[in-house]
Chain A
């Protein structure tokens, strides 16, 4: 008994020390990683949720696989309904299950006319997940080039990217993150066979070119904005292989026009004057400074393997959050005072224990949040106020049980009352915890902050009740008439 009390005493001290040292970094302007993060809804800033198109990615992947099959196994395959189809009259003996498996494919259906091959689900999931991770780096590099230093970017789900930028937003961000940045060079061809017509509505330029690009942006090494006769242009350089192709291409097509196409849109179509062997070129096209700079950035960072779109965006000014936090702090303080007054009026000295428990509980909540580098959002502030409510509930349950034990003249009323009530508290808090965990798992944005506050709040409340409140109940002598000092 005595040992346990001693243990509690020192634990309570330990908690206070722990709180002091973990909360302290929050008050210093340093880059300690153990600080509470403020969500964008509090500090102001922008967030973008980007989605990479699964469909386009699958199509590109299928094209790649099909051409590989054709090349390696001498086949003539076509793509239909998101699957590879091969005429069964062809020699398929070399395409064993083992070969298919190594390429991440499965034989979907085989009749005497046709074989349908599909990408294996697991393999596809992994490919798309890898692709997203790759895209995260590309987007990060793009936004970095614009000079945003404190951005946070992460993959969420299979094919989504969450980008968060605190502070005011550079208007170019939206422009550069929503571009695939697929650069293609098409040679002019005046025929209706295998050609496409490209048009630029701004410059009224139009050109009929070969449908297949002669050179793609995959060979790009670098790009930068420069000035040509005082108008901004984008100069680019190709790697060795690209330079060879480009040299060859320009040599063969002197006098023809070459269309420079970005994400399917014609930028310009200059005439090839002579062969370009160094692998360096210039894209001009009525750019403003910003446009040229954005283009250089996205070309430099590389293209995305699929289409990208912004499916959610949010921009929060700084005033809303600050006001919200101030109000939340006032709400907490007033709630704390009101509850303390009520509890002291009702439970006398034990009401004071409740107030001390609540304060310790809040300290512990902040300290765990700092330690975990958790994010506090505006709904999270509500979660904190509800933590006060849970802490009070635990106290009330214990006091009522102890009172009852006093009335029933049981032996050791305080201890047995505390213990039986604590089981109830565990039961009831655990169910709230389940709800909070599922909210975290399925939630999005600031709502996650709410569940984080709530989850940590539940743990803090349990720990404080078990250590601090019990300590007070043990060392302060109280009696049955409303738990007053004897």
Chain B
């Protein structure tokens, strides 16, 4: 049996280090906010022109607006973002007018979001995240003990922060789809942790076996190790299919999710369970015995 518990100090340190680095990185580099959260225009086009040519064409429509052109992974589809400015009302029609005259650009999708509405979307996304985390914590607390809830949420937050950092580092556009990805990573992370918690609870409730908490943690992990690996593997298998074959503007979501699955697997094994022991759960067990 592998002594996972032994590595807890190392994993605490590594995770804390990465969390701090991620937070610093996000603070300095920021997130590549999409129009969902920043307002503005997004036009998806199919074209054989290159990045620079498209930037030139779209910049010329209104020179006062910043234009960001991004090529979608392995396709001739480009996403063109233009910032919001004065006279937004007529701008989208102006863009479509200009582009429809060009034969080498086909507009697939166009979208405008008013900055005040994107503020609402930010607010709603934060509500969705906080309320999910709160209800998940409440559920784990009711079904298990508060130590489990605390440890589970800590592991979950760890995964969420690192996933956001992942998006920042690789300049992945942060939009509503990514909020869905983050919520799903939160769900997956706690899912993975709960399976281990369940094991630990079953072990600790068995009257006939009296072993210490670290060994119980180790055997909980070992007994579930095959499941953890198999599930992560099959989920990633499905996600890889999606990366290769996702709808063209949604390829980044499964990529972020793959990262989330990996980090979630790590955190449930090396953070979730060991944290419980650090929360003096041993004394809870002892008082229950006596």
Q: Does B230 contact A (CB under 8 A)?
A: yes
Q: Which residues of A contact B31 (CB under 8 A)?
A: none
Write out the residue numbers on chain A whose beta carbons fall within 8 Å of the beta carbon of B56: none
Beta-carbon contact of B241 and A447 below 8 Å: no
Given contacts A316-B109, A378-B250, A432-B191, whether A339 and B234 have CB atoms under 8 Å apart is yes
| B132 is an interface residue with CB less than 8 A from chain A | yes
In the complex, are the beta carbons of A317 and B194 less than 8 A apart? no
Question: When the two chains form their complex, are residues B121 and A320 in contact, meaning their CB atoms are under 8 A apart?
Answer: no
Evaluate contact between A314 and B224: CB separation under 8 angstroms: no
Output the least CB separation between B216 and chain A (Å).
16
State which residues 291-328 of A face B: CB under 8 Å.
309-317, 319-321, 323-325, 327-328
Cross-chain contact of B198 among A315, A424, A435 (Cβ < 8 A): A424
A428–B249 Cα distance when bound, in Å, is 30
CA distance A342 to B236 in the complex (A): 13
Using known A-B contacts A313-B111, A378-B250, A443-B128, determine if residue A174 contacts B195 with beta carbons closer than 8 Å.
no
B187 touches A432 (CB 8 A): yes
CB nearest neighbor in B for A458: B187
A328: B residues at CB distance < 8 A: 245-247
B156 to chain A, nearest CB (A): 9
Number of interface residues of B (CB under 8 A): 67
CB distance from B3 to the nearest CB of A (A): 20
- Option from B46, B187, B234 in Cβ contact (under 8 Å) with A436: B187
> Which residues of chain B (240-290) have a CB below 8 Å from chain A?
241-242, 244-250, 253-254
| Contact partner, A317, options B93, B108, B238, B247, Cβ 8 Å | B108
> Chain A CB within 10 Å — which of B128, B224, B233 has the most?
B128
Is A427 interfacial (CB-CB < 8 Å)?
yes
Q: Which of A10-18, A27-35, A381-389 contacts B (4 or more CB under 8 A)?
A: A381-389
- Say how far B232's CB is from chain A's closest CB, in angstroms: 9
A320-B248 contact in complex given A313-B112, A314-B109, A429-B191, C-beta closer than 8 Å: yes
Known contacts A428-B195, A434-B136, A379 near B109 by CB under 8 Å: no
Q: Take A397-B227, A447-B177 as given contacts and tell me if A389 and B244 are in contact as well, using a CB distance cutoff of 8 Å.
A: no
- A-side binding surface: helix, strand, loop or mixed? helix
Please tell me which one of the listed residues A342, A392, A430, A441 contacts residue B128 in the complex, with CB atoms under 8 A apart.
A441
| A378 contacts B247, C-beta separation under 8 Å | yes
Contact with B along A317-359 (1 / 0, CB 8 A): 1011101110110111011001100110010000000000000
Q: Is A120 an interface residue (CB 8 A)?
A: no
Produce 1/0 per residue, B207-245, CB < 8 A to A.
Answer: 000000000000000011011001101110111011011
Whether B92 sits at the interface, judged by CB under 8 Å, is: yes
Closest to B123 in A: A442
Q: Which chain B residues lie closer than 8 Å to A338 at the CB level? A: 237-238, 241
B128, A382: Cβ atoms closer than 8 Å: no
Tell me, in angstroms, the Cα distance from A339 to B192 when the chains sit together. 19
Tell whether, in the assembled complex, residue A320 and residue B135 are in contact, meaning their CB atoms are under 8 Å apart. no
Query: Is B234 a contact of A451 with CB atoms below 8 Å?
Result: no
B104 interfacial by beta-carbon distance below 8 Å:
no
Q: A438's contact among B92, B111, B114, B183, by CB below 8 Å, is which? A: B183
Does A49 count as interface, using CB distance less than 8 angstroms?
A: yes
Chain B positions 107 through 128: 1 when the CB is less than 8 Å from some CB of chain A, otherwise 0? 1111111101100010011011
A202–chain B nearest beta-carbon distance, Å: 16
Which one of B136, B234, B245 contacts A331 once the chains associate, using CB atoms below 8 Å?
B245
Contact check, A439 vs B128: say whether CB atoms are below 8 A apart. Answer: yes
Tell whether, in the assembled complex, residue A424 and residue B114 are in contact, meaning their CB atoms are under 8 Å apart: no
**Which A residues are in CB contact (< 8 Å) with B136?**
431, 434-435
Once bound together, how far apart are the Cα atoms of A432 and B189, in whole Å? 9
Closest chain B residue, CB of each to CB of A178: B89
Q: Which residue of B lies closest to A429 (CB)?
A: B191
Listed A/B pairs (8) with beta-carbon separation below 8 Å? A311-B113, A327-B247, A338-B237, A385-B239, A393-B231, A396-B230, A438-B128, A443-B180
Using a CB–CB cutoff of 8 Å, the interface residues on chain B facing chain A are: 44, 46, 89, 92-93, 106-114, 116-117, 121, 124-125, 127-128, 131-132, 135-136, 139-140, 143, 176-177, 179-180, 183-184, 186-188, 190-192, 194-195, 198, 202, 223-224, 226-227, 230-231, 233-235, 237-239, 241-242, 244-250, 253-254
Known: A392-B234, A431-B191, A438-B135. 6 other contacts (CB 8 A): A321-B247, A324-B248, A331-B246, A339-B237, A378-B249, A386-B235
